[in-house]
Structure 1
Amino acid sequence: MSKVGERERLKLQREPHWQRLRAGCFLGFRPSKRGGRGTWIARAYDEDARKYRLKSLGDYGALSGNEMFAVAKNEAERLAELVEAGGLMRAKIETVADACRAYAESRPEAGDRFRRYVYGDAIAKVRLSKLRRRHIAEWRRRLEDRPSLVSRSKVGEVRVRPRAASTINRDMVVLRAALAKVLAPGSPNTDAAWQEPLKAIANADGRRTLYLDRGQRLGLVEATTAEAAPFVEALCLLPLRPGALASLKVGDFDKRTAELTIGKDKSGKPRRIQLPGGAARLFALQSKSKLLTAPLFMRENGKFWDKDSWKRPIAAAVAAAGLPAGATAYSLRHSTITDLVGAGLPLLTIAQISGTSAEMIERHYGHLANDAATAALCALEL
């Protein structure tokens, strides 16, 4: 890799081409797919952690082709010395992508959004020190112009629809939060005000108004296939997001105490809830004779449920049970939260169980609590 001609003939691939400099110290080079100078990467083995530490060195665009290897080699050797001395604590947060990866370490859903809309975008490589309002505004325009997939099936016609305002807000909020961790807001109405293009679209989040009563939910479970019925029944018993329920492992449920640990969810923070008798029996049955790492609600192929696999059986059951066509897995979450609010459970408790904020519960379901309060006051009339 020290020779320009040899580097130019290297095969385009995701994994860098590595050259061993010495034991535990490597220098890598990844050719550019767009005809650029390519990227240099340093790799050093950390004996204490028993794994390699990587550092992106950039493209050294200001150097001539003959100088690049020597400078990159020195950087790789410096990294190895730092790792061997135990001085490597954490990679520097220099770019937008770095800030997003640091933010996503404890927030799985944020990481999923970054992989879809940030890491592969031009904004990922923008250095935080040079981030300007125009960079964010251009990224937002690209996001808004990008259609949402209606069907993610790998076979058949790919169906799309315009991206909803509420979806745009959810995609933007994680980027705003990640950047706010490492950047102070810029002066308003200037190009330094990176935060301004990430302002949420007002009144974008409407209430989920499709409510299924208990009889309709029972009919849905009965109309669901045997494979999906336990998963759908669990959605009717607990106000959990379908994705959080689908990602549960057998080890997340303690049969002795009937406690459930919910780890992978929108908030990114694990929480424990106590299950009532019916839900506890269902979860105990689903965990029977399975490994602790197996899916708690398992498909016939042994895999976890996901939104692409639960969509069809639920849609078929909705039609078979004669329910409103717009009913989905999320309608069950809305319905269970509605019942809890109507039963008079404190909004903060409902928020903790369902893994959301009390503010969100108040905003979307507070009117139900007010209705219950009005009815209670009516009972006081003489």
Structure 2
Amino acid sequence: MALDLSKVGARERLKVQREPHWQRLRAGCFLGFRPSKQGGKGTWIARIYDEDSGKYQVKSLGDLGGLAGNQMFAVAKREAEKLADLVEAGGEVRTKIETVEDACRDYAQNRPEAEQRFKRYVYDDPIAKVKLSKLRRRHVSEWRERMVALPALVSRRKQGEPIHRKRAPSTVNRDMVVLRAALGKVLSPGAPNTEAAWQEGLKAIPNASKRRTLYLDRSQRRKLVEKTSPEAKPFLRALCLLPLRPGALAALTAGDFDKRTAELTIGKDKTGKPRRIQLPPETSKLLAAQLKNKLPSAPLFMRANGKAWDRNSWKAPIAEAVAASGLPAGATAYTLRHSTITDLVSAGLPLLTIAQISGTSAEMIERHYGHLTSDAALKALGELAL
């Protein structure tokens, strides 16, 4: 039975959830209602399909709090249909940024990692509904206290009890930085030492980042690859050749590598922005071998079951190879990224170049690897091949 949002009683019986309850008004035009957790009047949302972009445009219509319950639907319906007419005529729905949640959603549009953090720590928190014009230092400080009190999930195993630990200072800083960036995009810093100084509640914890010290040299990485199972060996070897995050490497598809030009497009990474890098012959040869009999959408590094690697599937073969090689027990997939970056820095490759290849900032490279010195001549990435 189709949902009828025009009935006050029907809206009051709706389940409280993040995703709005939608009613179709006409083709490509939907009106949504999200009940309030605090027992308020709820929020109305319009969702319009844009044929030009092939995506939906969404706009919050607010809670329509000044209207009687039996009048809200008619007003919300009229606003949604106006927006549909605008989009169908080639116009664009511009979201009005009024609350902390609005600012975060606007900031996260092309930043998937920020969106994931906001989903975990902001959207369901009381700070989300605070008007930007009324945001004060206490709001942000209280949010920070709630976020810090949450345990960090260490294990995401589908079976067994999840494993948690106390949130590390570096983790707290990473969770704060995206909120600070989202608010800083739409708000000016408040006067220091006043309640208007919202930014003071988001000051980073000093000296929170711990330098990664576990390093595997090239002979150790070669031994690790040799002891790896045939299924995981191509993926692990690629981790030793490219200073990419394991998740970014696992997310690559066959269509991301152009063997004619030896160019690799990295789309899914912490930066949220695709980037292209030129590969040396040894690495290009490895990736070209993975393209055999694969459609462009298939995982570039595929497991035996046809699926892409992920953190739950690569842990076991790496741990087994580490044990079989007699290497330090703390070695992980991320150790290989750190080791490759260390070699590049030690070889004298410019920090900006390393940052571009690895998908991070020159500042982060300097912070974690600036202590390294080398008199070696400039080496190309290909010279680090195993």
- TM superposition score normalised by structure 2: 0.88
Output the amino acid matched with 1:138: E
Aligned twin of 1:380: none
Provide the C-alpha distance between the structure 2 equivalents of 1:63 and 1:73, rounded to a whole number of angstroms: 14
Which residue of structure 2 aligns with residue 83 of structure 1? Answer: 87
Pick from 309, 315, 320: which aligns with 1:311?
315
Identical aligned pairs, as a percentage?
Answer: 76
Residue in 2 that maps onto 1:275: 279
Could you say which residue in structure 2 is the equivalent of 1:215?
219
**Secondary structure of 2:128's partner?**
helix
Quick check: 1:157 aligned with 2:161?
A: yes
| Cα distance per residue 1:120-156 (max 9 Å; x no partner) | 3222222222222112111111111111111111211
Q: 1:323 to 1:5 in 2, by over 3 A?
A: same
Query: Which residue in 2 is equivalent to 1:259?
Result: 263
After superposition, where does 1:64-143 map in structure 2 within 5 Å? 64-143=68-147
5+ residue gaps in structure 1? 374-382
Deviation at 1:26, TM superposition (A): 4.5
Secondary structure (helix, strand or coil) at the match of 2:290 reads helix
The residue type equivalent to 2:236 in the other structure is: V
Q: Which runs of 5+ in 2 are unaligned?
A: 378-386
Q: Which amino acid aligns with 2:9?
A: G
Query: Separation in 2 of the partners of 1:204 and 1:295?
Result: 36
- Verify the 8 A CA contact 2:83 2:93 in the aligned structure 1: no
Take 1:185 and 1:353, find their aligned partners in 2: how far apart are those partners? 34
Tell me the CA shift for residue 287 of structure 1.
Answer: 1.5
Distance across 1 between alignment mates of 2:279 and 2:70? 66
Structure 1 residues 144 and 372: CA distance shift in structure 2, 3 A: farther
Deviation of 1:94 (Å): 2.3
RMSD, aligned CA? 2.5
- Determine which of 205, 222, 242 is the counterpart of 2:246: 242
Cα offsets for 1:279-332 (capped at 9, x unmatched) = 111111112111111111112222222222222221222122111111111111
CA shift, 1:44, in A, is 4.2
* Other-structure match for 1:204: 208
Give the equivalent residue in structure 1 for 2:299: 295
Rounded to whole Å, the distance in 1 between the matches of 2:23 and 2:184 is 38
Shift of 1:251: 1.2
Q: Give per-residue Cα distances to partners, 1:169-214, cap 9 Å, x unaligned.
A: 1111111111111111111111111111111110011211111111
- Could you say if the C-alpha distance between residues 48 and 341 of structure 1 is closer, same or farther in structure 2, counting changes exceeding 3 Å? closer
The residue type equivalent to 2:84 in the other structure is: A
Given residue 154 of structure 1, which amino acid in structure 2 is its aligned partner? K
1:185 aligns with 2:189: yes
How many corresponding residue pairs? 373
Say if 1:246 and 1:321 are closer, same or farther in 2 by CA, change over 3 A. same
Give the match's secondary structure for 2:59.
strand
